[in-house]
Structure 1
């Protein structure tokens, strides 16, 4: 679980990523605070390992996953790429979870 941008929380799981409005929304059974949810393609999934789970690197808006995939926090949302190099060059984006409008 990563906390960032206006109190939002990014939850990275074994097979999906969820973006929530805040920490409380993560445990809301009605998912009222869910901003967006995307599955991780099977080829980019990885195993959980202590102590950092699925994340091997987090620098500024870059999140490196254990599988070699990378997530990048862009101005328009959170994007998943197959590799760090793809994220660096903004190519072959797998998906983007868009940020909500600032006034919502």
Structure 2
């Protein structure tokens, strides 16, 4: 497996009200930058067995080392939200693409 992509890991610290914007804003903490990873789409059969739905666009991100718990990540400018994190010796994250937050 080629770890040819780089991911930036973020953790959602909490939500607060911003009076200037007039809405709730989520604060993110950068955990690690430039973590090597392998990014690939998940098959429809595996999405069905893992999440119970077929219409979700889930991707798999493999890391070559154990990474800390995180809630969001970016790869090549695209933002993803973690749906499931498997923290073993080499961590695996199941992620879903979301609109950019920063």
Q: Same fold (TM over 0.5)?
A: no
If asked which structure has higher relative contact order (CA below 8 Å, sep 6+), I would say 2
- Please state which structure has a larger fraction of its residues in helix: 1
- Please state which structure has a larger fraction of its residues in strand: 2
Q: TM (normalized to structure 2)?
A: 0.29
Q: TM (normalized to structure 1)?
A: 0.29
